[in-house]
Amino acid sequence: MEEIITLDYGSGGKKTSQLIEEILLPAFQNDALGALSDGAVLSGEEKLVFSTDSFVVNPLFFPGGNIGKLSVCGTVNDLSVSGGIPKYLSLSFILEEGFPMDSLKKIVASIRDTANSCGVQIVTGDTKVVERGKGDGIYINTAGIGFLRCPGLGTDRIREGDAVLLSGTAGDHSTAVMLARDGLLSEGGVVSDCQPLHLLAQKLFELGPALRVLRDPTRGGIATTLNEFVENGPFTIELEEEAIPVKPAVAGACDILGLDPLYCANEGKLLAIVSADQAQEALARMRSLPEGADAAIIGQVSTKAPGRVLLKTSFGGTRILTKLTGSQLPRIC
């Protein structure tokens, strides 16, 4: 008989202990977690970065990843774009009664492998179980602590003439998830870009103050993140549509699905604003790593239309890119 999650696993009693001891502890062995107390004791340093995300992606498994890998990458990437070296993660599950134990094991294995590949430790956690129909299989929250290595990143550093860099192709994650959700898994081989970006970020930290601001453009996509960079300020971001890398399969799938890659979530891309004189250096640094192989300079900072993001289209026109309105893609991450 297939093993499934029952409400017992959330009771705090024997079944909860069993879940922790048989599935979670073996996956995430370390001294802090092994103490099995309510909190983890960690070695700290002078300045910390701290971030959290909950993950509700549907479907749970998609080409290029699953909710487990995503839940590690998401927080590792948030810590990285905040100027931190990711160190510790917390991990919390909300499981729906009836969820297959086998799926949980696969997800836990992904979490373990991804955390190991990033050098982060899962040091504390929690598991709750809700009744059938009150969840959707599994929701995951991670929170992360990193040590600050690149202080001062922020939109207040942006200056006229700065370059806008994107570390790779736009829209891969949303498109892969939407195709998987619609059962079109084989459609064109679109794969999520879900990957950790800590090494790519650290390559850029070395640029010092020439690195203005970093962000991973997830929900709302590149268009929304760039708007957040300049909104309510004196600067404009002018993008060159032709310079923005988009995989042909993603462009094709977006056409079919009625999506715009510039508003699609990425889960393995960095947007960076860099001073003009360091733009080529930043580009070379990105391209020196596999996760930045398709990096490109996609635009620059001006004062043409304060607070706006402008797109120079392939046809020679210019249009305003606003923030995402409405919910283009619910439960994409």
Is residue 196 within 8 A of residue 204, CB to CB? The reply is no
Q: Between 77 and 278, name the residue whose CB sits nearer to its own copies.
A: 77
Residue 232 CA to residue 215 CA, distance in Å, equals 18
Going from the C-alpha of 190 to that of each of 15, 114, 296, the distances in angstroms are 40, 21, 20
When the beta carbons of 82 and 103 are compared against its own copies, the nearer one is 82
Q: Which value, in Å, is the radius of gyration of the alpha carbons in the chain?
A: 21
Q: Pairing relation of β-strands 309-312 and 236-240?
A: parallel
| Cβ at position 91, least distance to its own copies in Å | 7
Q: How far is the CB of 316 from its own copies (least distance, A)?
A: 28
Q: Which two tokens stand for residue 69?
A: 């890998």
Q: Which helix (H) or strand (E) is 138 found in, with range?
A: strand 138-148
Q: Which is nearer to its own copies, 79 or 249 (CB)?
A: 79
Q: Least distance to its own copies from the beta carbon of 168, Å?
A: 18
Contact 33, 125 (CB under 8 A): yes
CB of 305 to its own copies, least distance (A): 19
List phi, psi (to 5°) of 100.
-65, 130
- Nearer of residues 78 and 187 to its own copies, judged by Cβ: 78
CA dihedral 55, 321, 306, 273 (to 10 degrees): 50
Q: Do 68 and 140 touch, CB atoms closer than 8 A?
A: yes
- CB 113, min distance to its own copies, A: 21
Residue 63 or 220 having the CB closest to its own copies: 220
Least distance in angstroms from the C-beta of 51 to its own copies: 3
- Nearer to its own copies (CB atom), residue 53 or residue 291: 53
